[in-house]
């Protein structure tokens, strides 16, 4: 019996990787220094897991930006526009774009990794796509670990997942047609890893958690039969996670792989199907993912033992592995760093380091029921699990009663959009192609330092608020000077769009160092929802009202929606997610009502995680979409017709859920479209989306500044398919991570492009 860890967080104990990369981008850290910092993080990770007793530890789970980007480099799948660049310049240009003398290249597209808040770079494919092997990273990292006495299992993304998550950049072919070209490269890679002396290689195929058609299933079958004929000694671990194998189960059990990994957190029900399946080979090893890699609650050892004992009835112990459900990339690093958490809540939690210990402890107890240290851990675990069930911290009867009393009328606006639109246009009097931004403005080093000083007590509240008010006014004047129509206050008082709200809602608790990677160097510190949620007092009203008092332009109130707050938090697992989401929706509803009373006539309720929450299997979609749509509508429907409700969504494919997006009934939706060159508008066009829409024309995740002409071309593409009176002009997302000089130039170009479109529209009339 072995313990297996599918992957480990790579940002470092104190986000060292983030800081090193960002200073490298600024020219303050050399490539050698960045390499050394990266190596130190990897070594700490390996040694920590080894010290805790993990048997199978990963390599190649580290990345400077993204594992899919790394796989593109490994397979030589590099878009032509980056071909004149090399090394790290090429790598970071692919992820962020690049703009310098004689070089102006847009980044690759980015979207969500299945149903997580992790973003990956989308591979690009053409009909004549070629591939070539560059295994340097994988070789070097395996050797680094081996020098420490650890024979790691390299982790790679499987060929079918890689191809199906990529994007065909020309019409007339399917990415799976490239399988015959890519399999020999994978074959070379597996042989290379075999030559290193690795005993195992982990091939991640989470695409098996989705509804594969016959072509997809056939591609899986061909791929692993090809690998099975390579005549190598290295053993193959097939890793699926985030859901069941479903209709892919029979296919999977017949594949010539040595180990099949099961996510038994997200899909416990698949175990019985597997154990009773006629294709189950008793010589096959089952890797049981019983420790949750995506949430922070302590594992219930007794429940895990039941699962393991169920498998032991069918398989010998040596053919049973115990592991994490998925990579621990989605977990914070170490609970030991949390010195300020309520001790009662802290005892219920486990971060990545503690989860490794849980995996090892479970294995130890299964092998040796008399192990003294493991028995004590079992006792502590049992006490924590039982105390959570009966804690007075968790339940609020007033909140529960309010949820139960919700009526259908509370989830509907007073009138349909066509009536609201007429009233809003009259009340707001905005021009064609109205310009706005998504919410935040650059959080400079000074702003961040004020927040840090306020939190550590070296800056009092009055002085802190004075500085924030000055920064808010500065942002408003800049917007007025540029000529933006609908302003935002900049959100300088906020840290993270979810954390800020969670800090002021009951039922949430926060960590000091619970960081997880969202994309690249972007790390977030998700709140922990441990109990019933309510809003004790207004959250944003004072700042929004202050900002509106500074300008004659309309000011947007900026809120985070209930689904996104849910998705981007670590959510309690002792009640349905739908119930928790409804509690949050009622809290946001109260905030919306108070904003309207304070004179805010445009209110944006951001839902960038709406698509992310969609279950991987279509059979489960309707259940999720029904409660998610209802939660948004509860949060947004208390206002008068004249009050305009906006929402924002980014980095999502909308085609298959466009009916539900429409059912949100937001007056205006803003979406990310610049990286896809407006391709993401197709869903809204085919559906004939009835409400107003702001397709992003400025990619804020890249340091490059688009020209006025570039933005005009994007708007012309949008106007060709969306009626003029439905179009807004805005960036893709908030501007928090950008700096002021590039932001000003980009927004000036944005306003110029909108004015050009207005003049053109009037001339055509």
Q: What is the rounded distance in angstroms from the CA atom of residue 67 to the CA atom of residue 156?
A: 8
Contacts of 278 (CB under 8 A, 6+ apart): none
Q: What is the rounded distance in angstroms from the CA atom of residue 128 to the CA atom of residue 126?
A: 5
For residue 75, how many C-alpha atoms fall within 13 Å in the half-sphere facing its CB? 29
Within 10 Å of residue 412's Cβ, how many Cβ atoms? 13
Q: Of 261, 330, 646, 701, which one is the catalytic site residue?
A: 701
Q: What is the rounded distance in angstroms from the CA atom of residue 322 to the CA atom of residue 288?
A: 5
Q: At what angle do helices 31-52 and 136-147 cross, to 10 degrees?
A: 50
Q: What is the rounded distance in angstroms from the CA atom of residue 633 to the CA atom of residue 728?
A: 22
Exposure class string for 62-86: b at 16+ Cβ within 10 A, else e: bbbbbbbbbbbbbbebbbebbeebe
Q: Write the Ramachandran bin of 429: left for phi over 0, alpha for psi from -120 to 50, otherwise beta.
A: left
3-state secondary structure at position 508? strand
Detail the residues annotated as belonging to a binding site for L-methionine. 438-440, 491, 606
Phi, psi angle pair for 312, to nearest 5°: -60, -25
Q: Is 701 a catalytic residue?
A: yes
3-state secondary structure at position 291? strand
Exposure class string for 155-167: b at 16+ Cβ within 10 A, else e: bbbbbbbbbbbbe
Look up residue 627 and give its two tokens.
């409660």
Q: What is the rounded distance in angstroms from the CA atom of residue 406 to the CA atom of residue 408?
A: 7
Indicate the DSSP class of residue 210.
S
H helices of 102-236, in order, are: 136-147, 159-165, 179-195, 214-228
Within 10 Å of residue 133's Cβ, how many Cβ atoms? 17
Detail the residues annotated as belonging to a binding site for Zn(2+). 648, 650, 659, 672, 733
Q: What is the rounded distance in angstroms from the CA atom of residue 213 to the CA atom of residue 239?
A: 19
Contacts of 658 (CB under 8 A, 6+ apart): 683, 684, 686, 687, 689
Detail the residues annotated as belonging to a binding site. 15-18, 112, 117, 438-440, 491, 522-523, 568, 606, 612, 648, 650, 659, 672, 733
8 Å CB contact between 222 and 159: no
Detail the residues annotated as belonging to a binding site for 5-methyltetrahydropteroyltri-L-glutamate. 15-18, 112, 117, 522-523, 568, 612
8 Å CB contact between 334 and 352: yes
3-state helix, strand, coil in the chain (%, to 5): 45, 15, 40
3-state secondary structure at position 534? strand
What DSSP string runs through 648-669?
EE-S---GGGHHHHHHT--SEE
- CA dist 570 to 18, 400, 455, 567, Å? 22, 20, 23, 8
H helices of 229-342, in order, are: 249-253, 270-275, 301-312
What DSSP string runs through 411-480?
GS-SS-HHHHHHHHHHHH-PPSS-BB--SB----HHHHHHHHHHHHTSS-HHHHHHHHHHHHHHHHHHHH
Detail the residues annotated as belonging to a binding site for L-homocysteine. 438-440, 491, 606
8 Å CB contact between 478 and 744: yes
Q: What is the rounded distance in angstroms from the CA atom of residue 666 to the CA atom of residue 632?
A: 9
Within 10 Å of residue 452's Cβ, how many Cβ atoms? 11
- Enzyme catalytic residues: 701
């Amino acid at each position: 019996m072995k313990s297996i860890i599918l992957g480990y967080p790579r940002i470092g104990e104190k986000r060292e990787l983030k800081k090193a990369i960002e200073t490298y981008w600024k020219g303050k850290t050399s490539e050698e220094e960045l390499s050394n910092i990266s190596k130190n993080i990897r070594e700490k990770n390996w040694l920590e897991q080894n010290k805790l007793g993990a048997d199978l530890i990963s390599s190649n789970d580290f990345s400077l930006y993204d594992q899919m980007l790394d796989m593109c480099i490994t397979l030589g799948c590099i878009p032509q526009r980056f071909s004149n660049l090399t090394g790290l310049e090429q790598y970071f240009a692919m992820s962020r774009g690049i703009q310098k003398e004689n070089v102006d290249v847009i980044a690759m597209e980015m979207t969500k990794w299945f149903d997580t808040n992790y973003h990956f770079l989308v591979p690009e494919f053409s009909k004549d796509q070629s591939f070539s092997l560059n295994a340097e990273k994988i070789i070097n990292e395996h050797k680094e670990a081996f020098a420490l006495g650890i024979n790691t299992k390299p982790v790679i993304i499987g060929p079918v997942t890689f191809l199906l998550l990529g994007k065909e950049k020309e019409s007339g072919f399917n990415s799976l047609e490239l399988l015959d070209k890519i399999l020999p490269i994978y074959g070379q890679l597996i042989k290379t890893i075999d030559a290193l002396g690795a005993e195992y290689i982990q091939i991640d195929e989470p695409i098996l958690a989705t509804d594969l058609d016959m072509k997809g299933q056939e591609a899986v079958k061909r791929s692993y039969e090809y690998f099975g004929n390579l005549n190598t000694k290295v053993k193959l671990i097939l890793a699926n996670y985030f859901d069941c194998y479903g209709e892919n189960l029979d296919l999977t059990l017949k594949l010539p792989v040595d180990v099949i990994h099961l996510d038994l957190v997200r899909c416990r029900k698949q175990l019985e199907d597997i154990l009773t399946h006629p294709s189950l080979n008793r010589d096959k090893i089952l890797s049981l993912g019983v420790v949750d890699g995506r949430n922070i609650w302590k594992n219930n050892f007794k429940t895990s033992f039941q699962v393991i004992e169920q498998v032991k009835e069918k398989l010998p112990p040596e053919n049973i592995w115990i592991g994490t459900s998925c990579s621990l990339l989605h977990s914070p690093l170490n609970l030991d760093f949390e010195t300020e958490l309520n001790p009662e809540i802290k005892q219920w939690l486990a971060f990545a380091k503690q989860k490794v210990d849980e995996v090892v402890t479970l294995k130890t107890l299964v092998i040796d029921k008399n192990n003294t240290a493991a028995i004590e851990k079992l006792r502590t675990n049992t006490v924590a699990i039982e105390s959570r069930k009966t804690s007075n911290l968790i339940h609020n009867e007033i909140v529960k009663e309010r949820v139960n009393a919700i009526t259908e009328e509370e989830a509907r606006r007073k009138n349909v959009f066509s009536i609201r639109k007429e009233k809003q246009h009259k009340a707001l009097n905005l021009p064609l192609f109205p310009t706005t931004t998504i919410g935040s403005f650059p959080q400079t080093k000074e702003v961040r330092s004020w927040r840090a000083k306020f939190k550590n007590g070296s800056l009092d509240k009055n002085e802190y608020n004075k500085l924030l008010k000055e920064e808010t006014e500065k942002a408003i004047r800049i917007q007025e000077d540029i000529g933006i129509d609908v302003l935002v206050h900049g959100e300088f008082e906020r840290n993270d769009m979810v954390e800020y709200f969670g800090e002021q809602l009951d039922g949430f608790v926060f960590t000091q160092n619970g960081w997880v990677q969202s994309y690249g160097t972007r790390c977030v510190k998700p709140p922990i929802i441990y109990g019933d949620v309510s809003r004790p007092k207004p959250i944003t009203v004072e700042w929004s009202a202050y900002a509106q008092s500074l300008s004659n332009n309309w000011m947007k109130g900026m809120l985070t929606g209930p689904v996104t707050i849910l998705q981007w938090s670590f959510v309690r697992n002792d009640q349905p997610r739908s119930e928790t989401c409804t509690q949050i929706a009622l809290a946001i509803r109260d905030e919306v009502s108070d904003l309207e009373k304070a004179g805010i006539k445009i209110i944006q309720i951001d839902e960038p995680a709406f698509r992310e929450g969609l279950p991987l299997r279509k059979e489960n979609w309707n259940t999720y979409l029904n409660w998610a749509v209802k939660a948004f509508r509860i949060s947004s429907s208390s206002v008068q017709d004249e009050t305009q409700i906006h929402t924002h969504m980014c980095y999502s494919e909308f085609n298959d859920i466009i009916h539900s997006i429409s059912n949100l009934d937001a007056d205006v939706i803003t979406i990310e479209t610049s990286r896809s060159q407006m391709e993401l508008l197709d869903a809204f066009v085919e559906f004939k989306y009835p409400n107003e829409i702001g397709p992003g024309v400025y990619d804020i995740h890249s340091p490059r500044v688009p020209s006025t002409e570039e933005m005009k071309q994007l708007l012309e593409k949008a106007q060709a398919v969306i009626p003029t009176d439905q179009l807004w002009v805005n960036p893709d997302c908030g501007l928090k991570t950008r700096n002021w000089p590039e932001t000003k130039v980009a927004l000036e170009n944005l306003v110029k492009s909108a004015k050009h479109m207005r003049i053109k529209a009037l001339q055509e009339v």
